[in-house]
Amino acid sequence: MDLITRISEGRTLTTTIGNSSNSSCSSMGPFCVAISLGIISLIIIRVLYVIYRSSQPRRDMSPLQPLCTLIVMGSGGHTAEMLNLLSVLQEHRFKPRYYIAAATDNMSLPKAQVFENSLLDKEGVEKVGVAQFMQIYRSREVGQSYITSVGTTLLAMAHALWLMLKIRPQVILCNGPGTCIPLCAIAFLLKIFGIRWSYIFYVESIARVQRLSLSAFLLYKLRMADQLFVQWPQLKEKYPRAHYVGRLIYTLLRSINTKVRGYTYRVVESFVTTV
């Protein structure tokens, strides 16, 4: 009888504890919901503030202060266009410079090294600053299945986070390669959490006439790019928040002959005045 009595008392105690726990959870329910809604509201407000501030010129930075710059390189025409743009950039304003290309891209970084060596021969290291060259994992290779690309995308995001925390750039320049998406996404998240403020400048390829590339489209729609430049007026009409700067390659060739930078100077000036 004693054993039966103890079992009954144990069941009663367990039931009492369970009921009190359920009552506590029920009473804490509205409080937990209120806390969750408050956190979500703060995150939304912070995101909206970051988007608004990104579109405004930064006034608290000296125009003579060098800016740590991250340059995302891409294979083929992307590298050629980026080097053309860098050729009219004020090197003393954007230093140190970090060049990043995909781990499978074996051509872009050597071309960037040749470009940097030409700057050193012409101006010297004290004026143009130093440059470093790095590689990053690609989110998805050409022809890779979407299932396996999930894992490679997560790896690329982790690698991008490590690089961004290591470099902590103030300016990010990119012009089309998908490699820039993880880096820009991490930079945008670092803005939201107040860790580092990086200005993202995206120059769309001249080959894009009717619509944006996937990289540009994502940065435009998600409002991650501070400034997005296009080289055809019809793109400006289709994407009003983009900035039309003319055909940069033609402008660069013309500037060599006339010593006038034209539209390209507007791009460079936008880099300087925005940051």
**pLDDT tens for residues 117-151?**
988 877 776 667 789 999 998 877 766 777 777 78
Contacts of 121 (CB under 8 A, 6+ apart): none
Please name every residue paired with 102 in a beta bridge, in sequence order, or none if there are none.
Answer: 136
Within 13 Å of residue 1, how many CA atoms lie on the same side as its CB?
Answer: 0
Q: Which of 12-21, 25-34, 195-204, 259-268 has the lowest mean pLDDT?
A: 259-268
Q: Is the pLDDT of residue 195 over 70?
A: yes
Please name every residue paired with 229 in a beta bridge, in sequence order, or none if there are none.
Answer: 203, 243
The per-residue pLDDT for 69 is 92
The per-residue pLDDT for 19 is 52
Q: What is the pLDDT of residues 46-98, one digit of tens each?
A: 888 888 777 666 655 566 688 899 999 987 778 888 988 888 777 788 889 99
The per-residue pLDDT for 2 is 52
Q: Which of 63-77, 105-119, 184-198 has the lowest mean pLDDT?
A: 63-77
The per-residue pLDDT for 123 is 74
The per-residue pLDDT for 251 is 53
Instruction: State the average pLDDT for the chain.
Output: 78
The per-residue pLDDT for 214 is 87
The per-residue pLDDT for 133 is 95
The per-residue pLDDT for 114 is 92
The per-residue pLDDT for 177 is 76
Q: Is the pLDDT of residue 265 over 70?
A: no
Nearest C-alpha neighbor of 43 from the set 153, 211, 189, 161: 189
More confident residue, 113 or 56: 113
The per-residue pLDDT for 13 is 44
Q: Is the pLDDT of residue 264 over 50?
A: no
